[in-house]
Amino acid sequence: MNLAKIFGVHAAQSALDYAPKKIKQAWVDQKRQDERVLSIVKGLQKHNIRAEKADRKKLDNLSKGSNHQGIILEVEMPAMRSESDLKAVVESAKQIPFWLILDHVQDPQNLGACLRTADAAGVQGIIITKDQAVGITPTVCKVASGAAEMVPVYQVTNLSRTISWLKEQGIWIAGAAGEAEQTIYATDVNMPLALVMGAEENGMRRLTREQCDFLVKIPMQGSVESLNVSVAAGVLIYEIFRQRLGT
């Protein structure tokens, strides 16, 4: 069991809303009497989770300097899925495949935001690498606001090999790249698809790019050359979603 501490009112409320059974322990500032914290305490009690009253010093020690806002929960982190899990899901899928692949994305804020968008737009799962990539962390869960419990994340050892296997299953691979000739809006993406997003600074690796069936870009008019990974993923995912809706 992978346990971790999460801090703050927003993170605690999200855990209570989406995964109360994963909460194992709680600590609350004995001096906090504001409505938001008291509401969380009532929610914990409803699920038979005891909130231990603690002083500021203990909370500071437990949070190791993080801004806890007077509340800390110890929760079981969502499980990472394996390559064999991925193959089993793809082979048994009854819906049109829609996957997100993150090539060495290392910022937990980006993974959390991608999870939230993926959940909203019907992405079946996110594929990441085991090395040089962020996994499920308390920060990821906080940013995802419950989506980390809903959207499975699969770790693979060799991304190039995994992409080749996905292609053998009839899934098209679309890579996001600023140098692509076509924009996402001029491309038919209403097909079994996996969208690949590259790392924060360097984009997709060469081998990953070569595995893509086609590349797409987001049109840019300003002076900024590129968007944040999670923002770009949101734009691309929703255009794919829009085309699938037929609107």
DSSP 8-state secondary structure symbol assigned to residue 83: H
Cβ density class 132-163: b for 16+ within 10 Å, e for less = ebbbbbbbbbbbbbbbbbebbbbbbeebeebb
Residue 29 CB contacts under 8 Å (≥ 6 apart), including other chains:
37, 53, 54, 55, 56, 59, 70, 71
Residue 227 annotated as binding?
A: yes
- Strands, sheet with 23-29, edge to edge from the N-terminal-most edge strand: 3-7, 71-76, 23-29, 51-54
Question: Do residues 10 and 16 make contact, with C-beta atoms less than 8 angstroms apart?
Answer: no
Residue 126 annotated as binding?
A: no
Residue 218 annotated as binding?
A: yes
β-pairing, 23-29 with 71-76?
Answer: antiparallel
Query: Within a 10 A sphere around the Cβ of 45, how many other Cβ atoms?
Result: 12
Name the binding residues for S-adenosyl-L-methionine.
Answer: 198, 218, 227
Name the binding residues.
Answer: 198, 218, 227
